[in-house]
Chains A and B, each alone.
Chain A
Amino acid sequence: MRSWFVRIVYSGVVEAGPVRPWRTKAFAKVYGSYDKIQSFYNIMFAFLFFLAFILGYVVFAVYAERKVSAFIQDRLGPMEVGYYGLIQTIADLIKLLQKEDIVPENADKRLFMAAPVLIFTAVFAGFAVLPLTPDVIGSGANVGVFYLLTIITLDIIGLLIAGWSSNNKYSLLGAMRSVAQIISYEVPLGLIVLCVVMLCQTLDLQAISYQQGIWINQYAGNGLNYAQEVNYLFGISNIDVTQVGGFLTWNVFRMPLFFIAYIIFFIATLAESNRAPFDIPEAESELIGGFHTEYSGFRFAILFLAEYAMMLLVSLLGVVLFLGSWNTPLPNVGSIKLAEWTSGVPGTVYGNLMGAFWLLSKAMAIIFVQMWVRWTYPRLRVDQLMYLCWKVLTPASLVLLVLTGIWRLWM
């Protein structure tokens, strides 16, 4: 039993490697073809990894958030529990686990209890189509990014249910602000994602990932075949960087305007995850906690988890769409094959480990920037928020959409 578990957990990495201990006919006879087992292992690995990673990441991120804010404000932050307060968040989690779960008398109780489940599920389901390494991805559905945008929209319904069912004025106000803000910023976000799809000509996030690195010619799946594809720096057809790789083949370098696109994407995702400076839905000083004012105990912890998971999700999406996904940032320079050394061939253990390493470290860097922004900028007023979304970001992303279309055909 134990070995079966270990196989499932590690197979995503080990199975993909050159050493395949159970790639035998006898095994295949019992469990179906090897490829099926392999892909099933990879999917189970992606599922368990993301679930475990989100939990570990939230514990780390809450600590990091408090430390980063402390250092920005010239304080020390948590120092009591563990060395430098390292296990503060774990102590907080244990506390939340033991806290009484209060459901207000006037609340719509069923909806109130169901809302955290819906919110967490919507966010977690988004992780299903994110590639983790060249081989490990939850689901290879060819509508990847479209599905992702759709499923995280369910999060809004969860927020509204939570706010409405609490029957509390703060909660309802927070939920309404939250919904208005998220659906508004969904428009520039969707338009920018559309720009990337126009450039990459696919909705499959794994295909988009392969396009941004030196292994572009190795991708063949979902009816796509990139064996003949060539990557040009900024799409200019005499600077061939297919074999150079590194940051030069990232989407921000495949199209000159994608730097601006990424900035719009970043601002929109800050608003999507209700992060400061777009945190009027949860403005502590006026709305207590926004839609989760009435939540307590572990139900609140689930909402908190979903919020941080959302941060991680949008950072990962930004990395996949713009910053080269799991590809290394180091280019091949002549005979010094930095890109090849630091990325490893897809299908090998090393390739998968480096893929996961680059993807996650880029995402962590983006999350650090999110925290940095939160503790640097003051909160926007609601009219400034709507002005920024509808009168700046939406027209800007429409212009980018048009320019990307022309660029795609012209290059």
Chain B
Amino acid sequence: MQHSQISEFGYILLFIVGAIVFVIVALTVARLIRPNRPNVEKLSSYECGEEPVGSAWGQFNVRFYIVALIFILFDVELVFLFPWATVFGNRELIQATNGLWGWFALAEMFLFVGILVLGLAYAWVKGYLDWVKPQIKTPTFKTNVPAQLYEQINRKYAGKSPVAQPLEQAEIES
């Protein structure tokens, strides 16, 4: 059993090495047939035709870091939950303990998940899960045209779009 599992991981290694070899071979073939004529313009960073200003390696929004922290919280939880999930419903163990095994294991894990849910709730209440929302700006433009004129026009053309079918128009008018 031990030995066979090791060879199973060997096959996984075959997939990994195979993928690397495939990519390298493909890139080498491309290297052999493609041209290579670099110049300063080509090698500059792409910024829609503008001269790039400064380096991209600067400061970054701290929210990305917070998201990563919350992710770590849950990922560690998942790592612990996976081995548990394969045994908590084990039929032999449940029969040997008169059904106590399953419920006990489940209760234990509820406690564990519950503590982590508290963590999520904390982040939620503190507002760490809210991304910056765009502010909707209502225009404050003063106009001499009275508002009811707009309403009249809206009412008149309600439901009429340029591509509206004749049948629909007839329905609206009637």
A: residues with CB less than 8 A from B are 43, 47, 50-51, 96-107, 116-117, 120-121, 124-125, 127-129, 138-142, 146-147, 164, 166-172, 176, 179-180, 183-184, 186-187, 190-191, 194, 197-198, 201-203, 223, 288, 293-294, 297-299, 301-302, 381-383, 385-387, 390-391, 394-395, 398, 401-402, 405-406, 408-409
- Give A105 to B41 CA distance when docked, in angstroms: 10
B23–A97 touching, CB < 8 Å: no
- Give A395 to B39 CA distance when docked, in angstroms: 53
- Give A146 to B1 CA distance when docked, in angstroms: 19
Main secondary structure of the interface of B (DSSP, over half): helix
**B residues near A294, Cβ cutoff 8 Å:** 45-46
- Give A389 to B78 CA distance when docked, in angstroms: 16
Q: In the complex where A99-B34, A187-B74, A187-B75 touch, is A105 in contact with B124 (Cβ < 8 A)?
A: no
Q: In the complex where A169-B56, A386-B67 touch, is A298 in contact with B86 (Cβ < 8 A)?
A: no
Kindly identify which residue among B45, B70, B103 contacts A106, using a CB–CB cutoff of 8 Å: B45
**A residues near B33, Cβ cutoff 8 Å:** 97-98
- Give A395 to B70 CA distance when docked, in angstroms: 14
A-B CB contact pairs (8 Å), 8 listed: A100-B37, A101-B31, A187-B75, A187-B78, A197-B86, A198-B88, A201-B89, A408-B88
Q: In the complex where A47-B14, A141-B5 touch, is A406 in contact with B67 (Cβ < 8 A)?
A: no
B159 close to chain A: CB less than 8 A: no
- Give A141 to B5 CA distance when docked, in angstroms: 6
Kindly identify which residue among B14, B43, B134 contacts A105, using a CB–CB cutoff of 8 Å: B43
B34–A383 touching, CB < 8 Å: no
B96 close to chain A: CB less than 8 A: no
Interface size class of chain B, counting residues whose CB lies under 8 Å from the partner chain: 35 or more
CB distance from B100 to the nearest CB of A (A): 11
**B residues near A142, Cβ cutoff 8 Å:** 5, 8
Q: Which residues between 17 and 54 of chain B lie within 8 Å of chain A, taking CB atoms?
A: 18-20, 22-24, 26-27, 29-31, 33-38, 40, 42-48, 52
B45–A184 touching, CB < 8 Å: no
**B residues near A164, Cβ cutoff 8 Å:** 57
A125–B15 touching, CB < 8 Å: yes
